[in-house]
Structure 1
Amino acid sequence: MLKNIQEWILLLGIFGVVALLGNWIGYDVVVVGAIPGMLILIGICLIGLLLGEIIPGSIPSIAYVAIVGVILSMPWMPGSEYIVSATNEVNLLALTTPILAYAGIAIGRSWTDFVKLGWKSIVVAVCVMVGTFLGSALIAEAILRFQGII
């Protein structure tokens, strides 16, 4: 388990650095100002991953990460105001870039597993992506027209 924790810390550290750079380049947020928020997010992720390993059952670690994050940001929790204000310095889109890059690399490294899924999964994936894009475009169009922007 110690090896897993070391790998998690390394990966989360790399994600954190890349996200901080993306936050700085894309959103003009000073890196030093966003470091506390990033460290808090990394800590929440580590706690969730540890809970996923320690607690028996088949609940994915992401559920524990979400639960820990929600609990720590509740208004009645000591320090929640600081946690919320510090993590607000980290833009969500700056976080998604390294995560999606890692997911792409992970899929790219296991093409044999991806091929085993078959052509039907590719058709489903394309339909999901097209449907998501069209649905988002329709919602955006409706809201922008309703507001009189277009």
Structure 2
Amino acid sequence: MLKSLKEWVLVFMIIGAIMLIGNWIGYDIMPLTALPGLAVLIGISIAGLVIHRLLPFQMPSIAYIGILGLVLTLPGMPGSEKIVEWTGQVSLLAIATPILAYAGVSIGRSWHDFVALGWKTIVIGMFVLLGTFLGSALIAEVVLRMQGII
């Protein structure tokens, strides 16, 4: 467990540094301003991973992380206003970019497994991405027109 914890902390620190830089370059939020929110997000994530390892019943670790984040930000919880204020300084896209890059590297590391799936998987994946993009664009178009923004 201690080895896993060290690995998690190292990975979160690397991803956190990338997130701070992305938040700074992409959204003009200074790293020192975003650092408390990022520290809270990393702390909640690590706590959720530890809870996942300690509890005997199986539930995805993302569920523990989400529940912990929800409970900590409930109105009336001590410090919830500060947590919401701090995490509000971290852009969602600044979080998603390094995580997606990490996922891409993970796929690259298991290239033999990916190739074993065959060329049909690539075609299906392309259609899934195209459908997701077009569906998102259609929903955005409808919502923005309903709001009168475009």
- Report TM bin, short chain: over 0.9
Name the aligned partner's letter for residue 9 of structure 1.
V
Computed over aligned residues only, the root mean square deviation of the Cα atoms, in angstroms, reads 1.4
- In structure 1, runs of 5+ residues without a counterpart are none
> Which aligned pairs between 1:47-66 and structure 2 lie closer than 5 A?
47-66=47-66
**Whole-angstrom CA distance in 1 between matches of 2:97 and 2:37:** 17
TM-superposed CA distance for 1:101, in Å, is 0.7
**Whole-angstrom CA distance in 2 between matches of 1:136 and 1:33:** 31
2:112 corresponds in structure 1 to 112
2:101 corresponds in structure 1 to 101
**Whole-angstrom CA distance in 1 between matches of 2:75 and 2:148:** 37
TM-superposed CA distance for 1:48, in Å, is 0.5
**Whole-angstrom CA distance in 2 between matches of 1:11 and 1:44:** 14
1:21 corresponds in structure 2 to 21
2:86 corresponds in structure 1 to 86
**Whole-angstrom CA distance in 1 between matches of 2:9 and 2:40:** 13
Name the aligned partner's letter for residue 88 of structure 1.
G
**Whole-angstrom CA distance in 2 between matches of 1:2 and 1:132:** 39
- In structure 2, runs of 5+ residues without a counterpart are none
**Whole-angstrom CA distance in 2 between matches of 1:47 and 1:71:** 13
- Count of residue pairs brought into register by the alignment: 150
1:39 corresponds in structure 2 to 39
Shift in alpha-carbon separation, 1:116–1:11, aligned structure 2, 3 A? same
1:131 corresponds in structure 2 to 131
TM-score (norm 2): 0.93
**Whole-angstrom CA distance in 2 between matches of 1:59 and 1:115:** 30
Shift in alpha-carbon separation, 1:130–1:86, aligned structure 2, 3 A? same
**Whole-angstrom CA distance in 2 between matches of 1:55 and 1:117:** 34
Deviations 1:6-63 (A, max 9, x none): 0000000011111001000000001111111000000000001001111123311111
**Whole-angstrom CA distance in 1 between matches of 2:139 and 2:93:** 20
